[in-house]
Each structure stands twice: as structure tokens, then as C-alpha cells.
Amino acid sequence: MPATLHVERHFTAGETVRDVVIGMSDGLTVPFALAAGLSGAVAATNLVVTAGMAEIAAGSIAMGLGGYLAARSDAEHYASERRREEREIVEKTEFEREEVREVFRGYGLAEDAIAPVVVAMEANPKAWVDFMMRFELGLEAPDPKRALASALTIAGAYVAGGFVPLAPYFFVPDARRALGVSVAFTLVALLVFGYVKGRFTGAHPVRSALQTALVGALAATAAFALAKLLA
């Protein structure tokens, strides 16, 4: 009987999903809250549409820039730590040897099994530094294209999310009526988004859906109440 090929399926797009979650969650809630707040103060939808479009443009740029700077910061931190490790295996060789031993002791290896590994590490300084970066510091080499991809993903997700609560105001002339449609559209979108987010991140999908919808509803309610109070 032929052996069955064992294939492990692991989710490997964690950073992209994180960026989509960051952009989409804010894109759904912030313009939703803004539109709801303005609907409590004005009757015509043109002001809501204008303000909403401006907010989506500004918010997507700000969120995308934040993602870009965060990814650049991660890359710079990794490069700095790698340079430090490269110096230390030369200047503090015995100390670094002991750190390698400590890592393998943590996995239950005996000293006689660890010794040849340490020797092999010394013979390959690059691999030694790679090992220390991953197992001592818990750092993975960042993708050099990550910063731009993160910025575009977050900004795009923000725009996509932002148009969901704003779309009814393009077609319904009365802001209060448009708000009702926007609430229905956005709550459905928040529930679907929260459910999908839970499936990807390992959280309970139904709980994630309800939590996401609750946050969006609370933000919109607070904005609407504040606008009515100040109007």
C-alpha cells in the first residue's frame, strides 16, 4: 500500500490579514460614526457625503502612512539587532556560546549533544546570527517590500470599509432615512467582517462578529447622540 502523503496546511498570510483587519475595522467604524453624527445635526445628505469622502481620503492616507512607518520601524529594529548580534559573536564569543547552549537546554538536550551544535554554529557565523535572531530574540527577517505592501493594504481596506456606511447617502436624499439604511448595511458588514476575522485569527467567529458589530454600533450611537446634543 503506498504511503499517504502528509500535508500540513498552515495559514501564512498573517501580516496581510492583520493589515486588512486594521484598515477594514477602522474604515467601517469611523466613517459610520461620522455619518451618524452628522445625520443627527443636518437633514441634507450632501454635507454627509462631502464630509464622509474627505474623512475616507484623510483616514486612508493616515492609516496607510502609519502602517508604512510601523513596517519600516520593524525593519530598522531587525537590522539594528542583527548588527549587534554580529558584533557579539566576535567580541563576546563565549557568552554567545552559552546562550546557544541555554536555548538547546530548554529543549531538553544533553550537554554532549549540544557541544557539536555549538561547534557547527561557530563554523558558520551567518547561520549562528540567524539562529540567535530567531531563537534568542524571537525576530524574523522582514520582507523588504513589506512597508509599501502594508501601507497599500491598510489604506485600501480602509477605503473599502468606509464606503459601506457612506453608500446610502449617495442615493437617499434625506439624511435621517439614509442613516437607517446605513445602519443596516454597516451592521451586516460588521457582522460578516467580524466573523471572517475570527475564522482567520483563530478567535470564536460568532463572538468576534458580535464584538465587532457592538464596537461599531457604540461608536455610531455616541457620535449621533453627541451631534444631537450639540445641534
How does pLDDT run across 68-87, given as a tens digit for each residue?
998 888 888 888 888 998 88
pLDDT at 127 (0 to 100): 84
Q: How confident is the model at residue 119 (pLDDT cuts 50, 70, 90)?
A: confident
What cell was used for 92?
563576546
DSSP state of 47: H
Query: What average pLDDT is seen over the chain?
Result: 81
List of long-range contacts for 73-77, beta carbons under 8 Å, 24+ apart: 74/142, 74/146, 75/142, 75/144, 75/146, 75/147, 77/139
pLDDT at 223 (0 to 100): 66
User: How much is the average pLDDT of 36-51?
Assistant: 81
What cell was used for 53?
469622502
pLDDT at 156 (0 to 100): 92
Q: Is 31 exposed, middle or buried (0-12, 13-18, 19+ CB in 10 A)?
A: buried
Cα separation, 21 vs 209, in Å, equals 13
Cα separation, 52 vs 88, in Å, equals 53
User: How much is the average pLDDT of 141-164?
Assistant: 87
Q: How far is CA 226 from CA 33, 34, 80, 206, in A?
A: 11, 11, 47, 30
- pLDDT of 61 above 80: yes
How does pLDDT run across 174-207, given as a tens digit for each residue?
888 888 888 888 888 888 888 877 777 667 788 8
Cα separation, 221 vs 223, in Å, equals 5
Cα separation, 126 vs 213, in Å, equals 48
pLDDT at 81 (0 to 100): 87
Give the contacts of 118 (CB within 8 A, at least 6 positions apart).
Answer: 97, 100, 101
**Based on C-alpha coordinates, what's the Rg of the chain?**
25
